[in-house]
Structure formats: C-alpha cells, structure tokens
Amino acid sequence: MARGLFVVFEGIDACGKSTQARRVAHDRGARFVFEPGDTVLGAQLRGWLLDASTPMSPVTESLMMLADRSHHVATVIEPTLARGTPVVADRFYASTLAYQGYGRGVDMADLQAATDLAIGGCRPAMTVLIDIDVDTANERRARSAEDRFESADAAFHDRVREGYLEMAARDHARWFVVDGRATIDEVAAVIDERLGALDW
Ligand code: TMP
C-alpha cells in the first residue's frame, strides 16, 4: 500500500495556520494532528511547556518538544502514514528549529541531530509556511493569559519569523510560503492551488 502524504503547516503564533491545516485535512480526508500535545503523554508535556510560571532552560524546552514529537511520530503519525492515510500537521520539527534554534539560540547542529533521533526519518513532503509580520500577529492575539511563548518579546518572534523564512528559502521544493495577511479565503485559495499539485 502507498504511504500517505505528510503535509505540515508552520508559522508564528496567530498566523492562521491551525484554521488552514484543519480545513485542508478535512477537505483531503487526512488525519489532522498538532504539536505539542496531541497524545496523552503530549498533553502533559504541553501543560509544562506552555506554563510561563515554570522556568525552563532553552535546552530543556527543546528536549521536551522533541519528547512530545518522538512519541507523536511513533504512536500516531508514522502508523497513520503507513496505513496509507495522509496526515496534515499543525507544527512539526521546523517549529523547534525556528523557536528553540533561531528564537532561543540553542545550537542548530545539536537541534538537528536531536530532531533526527526524534523523528527517525519521518519528514513531510511539503511544509506550508503562513508568513505574517510580528505586529500583525500581536494585533490578532488575545492579550489575556499569555503562555511561555506568547509572553516572549517581539525580538524573539522576529527571530522565529526570520528563521522560518530562511528555512523556506533554502528548500523551494519542500517549502511553500503564503502571505498570511490576506483573508482566510484568499489564503485558502493559494494553499489549495499549490497542494492540489501533490499526489494525495
Ligand atoms: P500552538 O500555539 O501552535 O499550539 O503551539 C504552542 C507553542 O509552542 C507555540 O507558541 C510555538 C511553540 N512551539 C515551540 O516553541 N517549539 C516546537 O517545537 C513546537 C511544536 C511548538
């Protein structure tokens, strides 16, 4: 049986990727997944990861993200793809490279090596980056009850955004950048045109 297609949505907080990822998964009969926190173990990790009142070093943060991912790949993503069902993910390893690597400054080579260990060769066929500037993201976000990442300063989110754009620019075959400032329907149309060319 042919392996299912694996597509990932990435971007800074409030870029609109979750809405688009859920819609694409629904339209394509794919399984929608998200990180961090999409398993019983992951939900516990997500609680710690987002809780701004629990201090955590950047390396600890990275390893907890990777623990969530490793478990998610092994128990959900890989078995689903192996059954021939496509998977659409709201965040995957590029989030760790962008947030913990570019954002927090964790050594990129170390992060890549740890990521390889966590995902065991499970890589997306396509990553859709929904790009918005940090000011637009801030305007969209509810300011109440900010988590560990939402409460980071604008410079952090700028580094994350630039990191995403750099990764996308290095790999045009497997990354696709959409301007996330357009309306939901306009963004959807651009995404559907590009993803329609893939073998679902
Ligand atoms: P979410 O808001 O998309 O559910 O993600 C929760 C936060 O976790 C978001 O601010 C981005 C952050 N994050 C990382 O810092 N590294 C990662 O590897 C992942 C998956 C998420």
> Counting atoms of ligand 1 from 1, which one is nearest the CA of 66?
18
Does residue 1 lie in a domain region? no
Does residue 32 lie in a domain region? yes
pLDDT at 168: 98
What tokens were used for 68? Answer: 């969530």
pLDDT at 83: 97
- Is residue 65 within 8 A of residue 95, CB to CB? The reply is yes
What tokens were used for 182? Answer: 């357009």
Q: In terms of Cα–Cα distance, which of 105, 135, 96 is closest to 10?
A: 96
SS3 88: strand
109 CA distance to ligand 1 middle (Å)? 20
Mutation probe of ligand 1 site: the residue of 45, 68, 91, 146 with most atoms within 8 A of C-beta: 91
Give 20's contacts (C-beta < 8 A, 6+ positions apart): 9, 128, 130, 184, 187, 188, 191
DSSP summary character for residue 124: -
The reported pTM is 0.97
pLDDT at 145: 67
One-letter identity of residue 170: R
Does residue 74 lie in a domain region? yes
Give 153's contacts (C-beta < 8 A, 6+ positions apart): none
Number of domains in the chain: 1
DSSP H or E segment with residue 130: strand 126-131
Does residue 200 lie in a domain region? no
pLDDT at 1: 81
| Range(s) of the domain holding residue 114 | 6-195
| pLDDT(144) > 80 | no
Question: Mean pLDDT of all residues in the chain?
Answer: 96
Question: What are the DSSP E strand ranges found in the chain?
Answer: 6-10, 31-34, 87-90, 126-131, 175-179
116 CA distance to ligand 1 middle (Å)? 18
Q: Which CATH number is 134's domain given?
A: 3.40.50.300
Ligand 1 surroundings by CB, under 6 angstroms:
13, 35-36, 65, 91, 95-96, 99-100, 149
